[in-house]
Amino acid sequence: MKTPSLNFRCSCLLFIASLTVFAADPGPPVERVLFREGKVFAVRAGKTAPLEANVTLPNAIAVSTNGTFTVGKGKARPFQAGQSLGDDGMLASPDGTLVPVFDHIVIKSGRPVLMKDGVSSPVTAEMVLGDGTRVSPDGTLMGTDGRRTKLLDGQMRRLDGQNIAATDTVTLLQGKVVLQKDGSRLELKPGQTIAMSDGSKVSSDGTLSKPNGTTVKLIEGQTVTVEGVSTRPR
């Protein structure tokens, strides 16, 4: 029996390797998932299709085809109709709210609130974050160098101490302009105009005027994001 030539054996190995790579290729990564009509959809490379298998996103977020997601070893949380979850860990709802799903601290009405596994609770004692910074119940952040900073409404910190860039939103919902601004949700009254943290101005007729002079006229159900309080110079 003749021994296969070296070239033949190399060709076989290359062919097998190519099949292995092809079989293991998961395709484009999931950019975000959507929950519509009781089903989970995945967006990959700009294309939306039903989620056919459970998928893991950054920040230890696991999304299941049954319409739930978990963060780390936390409990399963159900999606609500119309929600979308991005690979940045931000959960967007139809009412314009945009919040991180991973554990964090957010300042509301001047006080820190702990968001852990999707449940909020007030911070009633000093918390030491992963990087050694300390957050007091009055909303003061003390750095490892001893410097104190008064955190502003809407500012957020991960539990490891990393800053989270807050994002405000402007939504036209049932003919009314609804804002997520500095960690709070508010509805504009007729004739009212309000300035956002990035310098944009929003009017109750759905007009958003940006600092660069451009304007956006919102349509029903549209949400526009703008930079939040944590991006402002201190």
Among candidate residues 114, 133, 164, the one where a domain is terminated: 164
- Asked whether residue 130 falls in the same domain as residue 172, the answer is no
Query: With 0-12 CB in 10 A as exposed, 13-18 as middle and 19+ as buried, what is 198?
Result: middle
- Asked whether residue 118 falls in the same domain as residue 135, the answer is yes
Q: pLDDT band at residue 26, thresholds of 50, 70 and 90?
A: low
- Asked whether residue 40 falls in the same domain as residue 80, the answer is yes
Rounded average pLDDT over 22-50: 86
78-110 pLDDT, tens digit per residue, is: 999 999 999 999 999 999 999 999 999 999 999
Rounded average pLDDT over 19-31: 64
pLDDT for 218: 95
- Asked whether residue 178 falls in the same domain as residue 197, the answer is yes
Number of domains in the chain: 3
Cα–Cα distance, 219 to 207 (Å, whole number): 10
- Asked whether residue 110 falls in the same domain as residue 156, the answer is yes
Residues 166 and 156: beta-carbon distance below 8 Å: yes
- Asked whether residue 142 falls in the same domain as residue 153, the answer is yes
- Asked whether residue 108 falls in the same domain as residue 159, the answer is yes
Among candidate residues 70, 92, 114, the one where a domain is terminated: 92
pLDDT for 3: 54
Among candidate residues 145, 164, 183, the one where a domain is terminated: 164
Domain of residue 123: give its range: 104-164
Which range among 13-22, 59-68, 93-102, 164-173 shows the weakest confidence by mean pLDDT?
A: 13-22
- Asked whether residue 152 falls in the same domain as residue 178, the answer is no
186-228 pLDDT, tens digit per residue, is: 999 999 999 998 999 999 999 999 999 999 999 999 999 999 8
- Asked whether residue 157 falls in the same domain as residue 184, the answer is no
- Asked whether residue 40 falls in the same domain as residue 74, the answer is yes
